[in-house]
Amino acid sequence: MFSNLPLLSLVIWTPIIGGMLVLATGSKNSIEAKVLALLVSLATLALSIPLYTQFDASLASMQFEELMPWISSFHINYHVGVDGISMPLILLTTFMTVIVIIAGWEVITYKVAQYMAAFLILEGLMIGTFAAMDAMLFYVFWEALLIPMFVVIGIWGGPNRVYATIKFFLYTFLGSVFMLISLLYMYMHAAELNGAGTFNIQELQKLPLELTPQILIFLSFLLAFAVKVPMWPVHTWLPDAHVEAPTGGSVILAAIMLKLGGYGFLRFSLPITPDASMTLDWLVILLSLIAIVYIGFVALVQADMKKLIAYSSISHMGFVTLGFFLMWKITENTGSASGIVLGLEGGMVQMISHGFISGAMFLSVGVLYDRMHSRMIKDYGGVVNTMPAFATFAVFFAMANAGLPGTSGFVGEFMVIMAAFKANFCYAFLAAITLILGAAYTLWMIKRVVFGPIANENVENLEDMNGREFFMMLVLAIAVLVVGLYPAPLLEVMHASIDNLVLQMGTKIPALP
């Protein structure tokens, strides 16, 4: 029905062009900007739904592909497409952006048009990053999305926003320039082998590379993606950025931008440099385990709610990277390939689930912050007495964050831990400990903030959530429950693509039949 429409391009460019229109409404009449922004984000969400409904889950190849020459001198093409790995992430992006637009509705009063426009443009750029099938197009989107995020944190952020946003920008910029050099190197290598250079990601995945260049390329990718994920020890920008960002910025950062790093591992690191991934898998596993355990402890001692959730994000993203890089240890240990897919899909589910849960957690903090203008745990206590509806949701999302069975948080972590058991008991043991830690820091925070006697008169005067806030929470709670109780549709769409990824690396995994 829609087969003639360049659907993917529409999903990418509608929010970007819509964002420019919102910008053009100026800052005089903020209601116009808000309504227009909401309409654009809803339209984008509607446009992205056919990506799911018309997606053929049995195919591993790219779907909704579009290919146009862009910069012929460098063989750069405007080449977009989705597979089972990127499609769920695109839907997550379009979904969360609507939430973020609604979240900023009453809260943002300064330069509303610019705020809304920044998020819409950001949305388009993030979708572009997930959809790009040309490495240079990927890089352009990847870098360009720093600009709106830089502005969002810097204009609407907290007191220390300038420090945080410049740190955020420079960290990610430094991480990704090395990736650029790697891409240029592979372009040259392809030119030497095939006569013509290419930035096509699928071609790059087939490029034969010696081990030494592979390791260097792998490390440059690791730097780029590890900063985005973020992995220990390059995570230090995240707590600063999260704490200073406005609620919407935190939500987008946690829910989607961190996923770009995980996506990068699946799209670039694993298939392009499989030998180096095999050689250096211990490094990623080590860093992931440090993130899971050590950052979990760090989260425990935070006095600032946003910081606590930021550290919890790092810890949870550790599961993602752990799941992605378990495959060699699994085959080494068990001699069979079963469990590989479990780890990869567990990581993917964890990314989607973390998108919902961390977004919801940051929104919860946002709800409190808008009323009290404090993120400190000590300023709260007994919120349940004045905000019962809010307390219900807060407890629910905290449980999900702690990985309660029945919520989405459980599915991904459980799958990764199952895979880890096949690889090495110690990995699984350490990862499982975090489930306890996660429960400890999240529930302890909830205990101090939500339960107990009313701490002070500010809390006493709190009003419960209004309809807008209730709606956002409800939608997210449903999403968390659906993925938690019935993850099959999500797993189905990614199954063929993950299998294909494993197949692609097949020769590089020794014990694979």
Q: Measured between alpha carbons, how far is 337 from 332 in angstroms, rounded to an integer?
A: 9
Is residue 193 at the binding interface for another protein, with CB under 8 A as the rule? no
Paired with 134 in beta bridges are: 200
Instruction: Using the minimum distance from each CB to another protein, give the nearer residue, 91 or 151.
Output: 151
Beta bridge partners of 3: none
Among 13, 52, 105, 185, binds another protein (CB under 8 A): 185
Q: Which stretch binds another protein (CB under 8 A): 101-109, 180-188, 318-326, 382-390?
A: 180-188
Q: What residues from 81 to 120 belong to the interface with another protein (CB under 8 A)? A: 111, 114
Binding to another protein, residues 17-36 (CB under 8 A):
23, 26-27
Binding segment for another protein (CB under 8 A), chosen from 157-165, 243-251, 350-358, 373-381, is 157-165
Among 59, 188, 193, 303, binds another protein (CB under 8 A): 188
Contact 81, 64 (CB under 8 A): yes
DSSP letter for 403, please.
T
Q: Which residue of 5, 31, 71, 478 would you call a contact of another protein, by CB under 8 A?
A: 71
Residue 64 phi, psi (nearest 5): 55, 35
Q: How many CB atoms lie within 10 A of CB 200?
A: 19
8-state DSSP, 78 = E
Q: According to the binding rule CB under 8 A, does residue 495 interact with another protein? A: no
At 215 the three-state DSSP class reads: helix
Determine if 297 is a binding residue for another protein (CB under 8 A).
no
**CA distances to 158, 360, 365, 443, 492 from 393, in Å:** 25, 9, 12, 13, 29
Considering only CA atoms, which of 135, 127, 134 is closest in space to residue 13? 127
CB of 110: closest distance to another protein in angstroms?
10
Q: Is 147 in the site for another protein (CB under 8 A)?
A: yes
Cβ nearer to another protein, comparing 189 with 371: 189
Select from 180, 41, 35, 30 the least CA-distant residue to 114: 30
How many Å apart are CA 382 and CA 393, to the nearest integer?
15
**Angle between helical axes of 112-131 and 135-144 (0-180°, round to 10):** 160
Using rule CB under 8 A, residue 271 touches another protein? no
* Contact call for residue 169 and another protein (CB under 8 A): yes
Q: Minimum distance from CB of 468 to another protein (Å)?
A: 27
Residue 162, interface with another protein (CB under 8 A)?
yes
By CB under 8 A, residue 124 contacts another protein: no
Residue 196's SS3 state is: coil
Is residue 180 part of the contact set for another protein (CB under 8 A)?
Answer: yes
Are 451 and 394 in contact by the 8 Å Cβ rule? The answer is no
Q: Which of 31, 181, 211, 503 is the binder for another protein (CB under 8 A)?
A: 181
Q: What residue ranges bind another protein (CB under 8 A)?
A: 23, 26-27, 69-74, 111, 114, 136, 139-140, 143-144, 146-147, 150-151, 154-155, 161-162, 165-166, 169-170, 173-174, 177-178, 180-181, 184-185, 187-188, 191
